[in-house]
Amino acid sequence: MTRTLGVLIFPDFQILDIAGPVAAFEIAARYVPGAYEIKVMARIPGPVASSSRALMVAEPLTDAPLDTLMIVGGDGSRTAALCAHTADWIRAASGRARRTTSVCSGAYLLARAGLLDGRRVTTHWERCADLARRYRKVRVEPDRIFVRDGDFWTSAGITAGIDLALALIADDLGEDIARAVARQLVVYYRRPGGQSQFSALVEMGGRGGRFATLLDWMRERLAEPLGVEKLADKAAMSPRHFARRVRPS
């Protein structure tokens, strides 16, 4: 059984939003030949420039049923979401698809099409508050790497698209195949923690650079338990003083 994955891109899309998931599905198809057929589509077919200006060639939008509809994100997502033709196509394509997914800020396009009303979703941690403000009927879960709500799957930012793809592959082909794909990609099969760990690190890093070395050390050990005492020792502070310094003001 071949499952058709239709990926929608638009000007200023984030190239890793598509490259990561597509690589995962490509590798899965090596283990299970014929498992996936990948179609990259855009409202205006042909070369489409990503936010990095690297080009990807897209096919025209299709009316044929897709197994999985995937909407990527990027700097151009909110502009693309305003296109009525695109929103109409997304609604129709989603209605024909077995499941509908988004990576990063691709959630804006699904929300604009009215497909996320009342649903639990996530997006890049920097955009969670904005998505919730713009689309009040959408239930945004800011700490999740990906969220499944029925036949709708949404992921956090950029590399989280790989986590989403692995979950979709596990749903289709089983966990053994998904784990094998993760090993080939040299990524966690199940990433430890949520995405708030990354926003918290960025926030700490903006406080005068005092914790820059500590943050680098922490990023290399996100899978380990990092208690206050261990962090304070690494920062050459007492636990009490360290806790005071990093507590949100």
Q: Which residues are catalytic?
A: 104
Residue 207 CA: distances (Å) to CA of 197, 213, 249: 16, 13, 11
Residue 178 CA: distances (Å) to CA of 66, 162, 189, 190: 21, 11, 7, 10
* Greatest pairwise CA separation for the chain in angstroms: 63
204 by Cβ neighbours in 10 Å (0-12 / 13-18 / 19+) ranks as: middle
Residue 37 CA: distances (Å) to CA of 7, 52, 82: 11, 26, 29
Q: Are 66 and 100 in contact (CB under 8 A)?
A: no
> Which segments within 133-244 are labelled E, that is strand?
139-140, 146-149, 152-155
**Interatomic CA distance for residues 116 and 124, integer angstroms:** 16
Reduced DSSP (H G I as helix, E B as strand, rest coil) percent helix, strand, coil of the chain, to 5? 45, 20, 40
